[in-house]
Amino acid sequence: MIYLVRHGQTEFNRERRIQGHVDSPLTELGVRQAEAVGRLLADLIREPDGWRIVSSPLGRAHATAELISARLGGLPVELDDRLKEMSWGAHDGRLRAELEAEHPDTFGRTGWAFDAGTGESYEAVSARVGDWLATLPPEPDRRIIAVSHGISGRVLRGLYANLDRDAAGLQDVPQDAVYLLQHGGVGRIDCEPLD
């Protein structure tokens, strides 16, 4: 099984800024979200022996993974470039509203189908995330907590559940929930509400 987590809220998330491969720190809420995910995973897993935490190396995901690790008794965090967020190229770090004003059709109906001739394509993200999935041990020996991002997490869930590109793009990307990927299905488990 795979428990898939999106990083906690960042400064750029709060500003509605495209992050891609650039980074911004977790907000106070983002830290609380990561800690809540850690508590949820500790309740779900109970005994972390045999489990692995694999994270995107981008700071926001790595920080989230470390906070989860602390709740699981210091389970080591492995970094894997294949879990990185989609790069928007020259648009990494820009405000979403600016891009929408400059390129009205930029985001498509899914809200992330960006195609302005810069950054990674869906196919490139799908290939690297698919490569990561292909290297995992088979079920039931698979015990992975994956910490990733909004778009790359959608792609991962889409590949796992055999969704087409549009269906993958329409999935939710909460920062206070965990997705269970098991037996070809994907289920969402919400954290307890934060004050």
Report the alpha-carbon distance of residue 184 to residue 157 in Å, rounded: 10
Q: Which position among 7, 35, 91, 120 bears the catalytic label?
A: 7
Instruction: For residue 66, indicate whether it is catalytic.
Output: no
Q: Residues 175, 6: contact at Cβ < 8 Å?
A: yes
Sheet of strand 52-55, all strands in order from the earlier edge strand to the far edge? 77-79, 52-55, 144-148, 2-6, 177-182, 185-190
The alpha-helical segments, DSSP class H, found in the chain are 11-15, 28-45, 59-71, 96-102, 122-134, 150-160, 165-169
Q: Residues 8, 34: contact at Cβ < 8 Å?
A: yes
Q: Which position among 35, 85, 91, 120 bears the catalytic label?
A: 85
> Which positions ≥6 away from 105 have C-beta within 8 Å?
none
> What CA dihedral angle connects 75, 54, 9 and 185, to 10 degrees?
-110
Report the alpha-carbon distance of residue 76 to residue 72 in Å, rounded: 10
> Which positions ≥6 away from 137 have C-beta within 8 Å?
none
Instruction: For residue 85, indicate whether it is catalytic.
Output: yes
Other beta carbons within 10 angstroms of residue 97's beta carbon come to: 11
Write out the catalytic residue numbers.
Answer: 7, 85
